[in-house]
Every structure is written in structure tokens, then in C-alpha cells.
Amino acid sequence: MTDKYAVIGNPIGHSKSPIIHAAFARQTNQDISYEAILAPLDDFEATVKDLIAQGYKGVNVTVPFKFVAFDICDSLSVRVKSAGANAVNTLVNINGSIHGDNTDGIGLRSDIEKNLGFEIAGKHILILGAGGAAYGISNSLIGVKSITIANRTLVNAQALEIVMRFSHNDVQSKIFERLDRSYDLIINATSAGLTDAALPIPSMIFGKNSLAYDMMYGRETPFMAQARAAGAQVADGLGMLVEQAAEAFYIWRNVRPDTQPVIHMVRALQMEKS
């Protein structure tokens, strides 16, 4: 019998997750289906519980539902608990009970270190944004030199700073306009790229040896263009998307797929459409 899975978001039409999980299933000989589902902004919980009632084995969660997904979980992974994060992106149906996990952090670090060859340990990190995506990666930055969280609203950055201080010594928060130095790794964890909105950030944050990493994927964002113009190395989040999907697939199926051919496949499909 085919096991059913889905990704839920709003918007969701841009999602590559169904293609990725179909590729993983073929590669590992798993009998699954995986679909993208648009959930009403005010009815995420009902959407998930309806899928659970239909027998779906698991659900991925994307923008803007990672916080509310955390709230509806009956249990949480050690990874989520230890990070102090209040956002999840992977739900598991355990006999009708909802178990939450977050694979964003391991997906980010795997892509940056394994695929891009950029060592995170010992680096000065800047995270742009303090929403669900930023919380999701907070547990992946162990061993860094320092972390700065920048956001439009300072109180939201400070809330994430409090969480991150449980596992990091040197953490500070600022509003975008107060950034005044360069960083080794700049991670755009905002959703500004979905609307082509530019962030009010100074170009001085990008050094010649910096990696500017946008968690969005699919097209060149204003953040990426600004970083490229400043001479920084630039990457989008497509590799992270595949790596975090692989971790979710492993959680659901207990089989770890090879991500490299899938990254190349999705990148090629993306280039065909551009």
C-alpha cells in the first residue's frame, strides 16, 4: 500500500518538494506519494488533522506555518527540544499523534559544508530575520565564533537571541539599519525573496571572502544581487532544500537518500524554466 505524504504552505505553488521526494522514492525503492497542499492562513491545524485522519504518514511544513506547526505537536524531537526552537518543519503521524521535528538546521549546515565547501566552525555569522526559518537553523550553528541576529523589529531579534544563548556564548541582536561590519557567513532567513523585496541592509556586511546564503531558491533575489555586487560568494537555498528533505525522508522511511544527483536534477529543471 502506498504511504501518503505532503508539504503544506501558503503560497505553495513554487514548491520543489514533490519532485525531490519522488526522486528520493525512486532512488531508494520506497512506495510513497507526496503532494503540495495550500492551507488557508487561518486553518493550518484543521488541514493537518484532516490529513492525519486520512492516514497520511507525514507532512512537511513551509512558510508561514512553522510556528503554528510547533504548537499543534503532541511530542517533539530531541533536536527541537535541545535547540529551544519553537518552530518545526517535519511532522510524523505516530498512530494518530503528531510528532514534530525540524530538519532545516541540518539541511543548511550539510549544504554549506558538504556541497559548498565552506567551514562554519570559528566563523562570524549574521542571520537576517527572526521568524520560523531563523529558529529552525538556530541549532545548526554550534562551534561558530559569534552570531548576530538582525531584524526589522528588534524585539523579535532579541527573542531569538535569548533562545540561542542557551547554546552560544557570543550572540547579539540589531535592527537591519544598525549593522556596521562584515561577516564571514550571512544567512538570509527572511521571506523577502518571495516578493522581490530588498532588505534595508548596508553592503558593508559582505566581505570579499564572505558567503551570502539565501534560504530562498528559484531566482536571483535582491539580497543575492547586492551580495554579488559587493564581491561576496553567493548561494541560494536549493541545496538546503534537498538536504533538509533528505533528513525528513530519513525520519519517515529510515532510509537515507543520495542528495547529489537530486540537487543536480532540480537545478537543471530550474534552469530550463528560467
Amino acid, res. 61: V
Q: Which CATH architecture has domain 3-102+239-273?
A: 3-Layer(aba) Sandwich (3.40)
Fold: same for 3-102+239-273 and 105-236: yes
Task: Give mean pLDDT, residues 67-82.
Answer: 94
49 is catalytic: no
* Of the candidates 95, 37, 101, 31, the residue with the CA atom closest to the CA atom of residue 66: 101
Are 213 and 239 in contact, with CB atoms under 8 Å apart?
no
pLDDT of 85 > 80? The answer is no
Query: How many Cα atoms are found within 13 Å in the side-chain-facing hemisphere of 267?
Result: 13
pLDDT tens per residue across span 106-154: 999 999 999 999 999 999 999 999 987 898 898 899 999 999 999 999 9
d(CA 185, CA 249): 28
Could you tell me what percent of the chain has a pLDDT over 90? 83
Are 150 and 176 in contact, with CB atoms under 8 Å apart?
yes
DSSP 93-116: EETTEEEEE--HHHHHHIIIIIIS
Sort strands 58-61 and 90-94 into parallel, antiparallel or unpaired. antiparallel
pLDDT of residue 86: 84
* Of the candidates 171, 222, 230, 185, the residue with the CA atom closest to the CA atom of residue 200: 222
105-236 is a CATH 3.40.190.10 domain: no
- pLDDT band for 37, please (50, 70, 90 cuts): very high
pTM of the model: 0.92
Q: Provide the residue ranges of all domains of the chain, joining segments of one domain with +.
A: 3-102+239-273, 105-236
Given 66, 81, 114, 145, the catalytic residue: 66
- 3-state SS, one letter per residue, for 228-260: HHCCCEEECCHHHHHHHHHHHHHHHHCCCCCCH
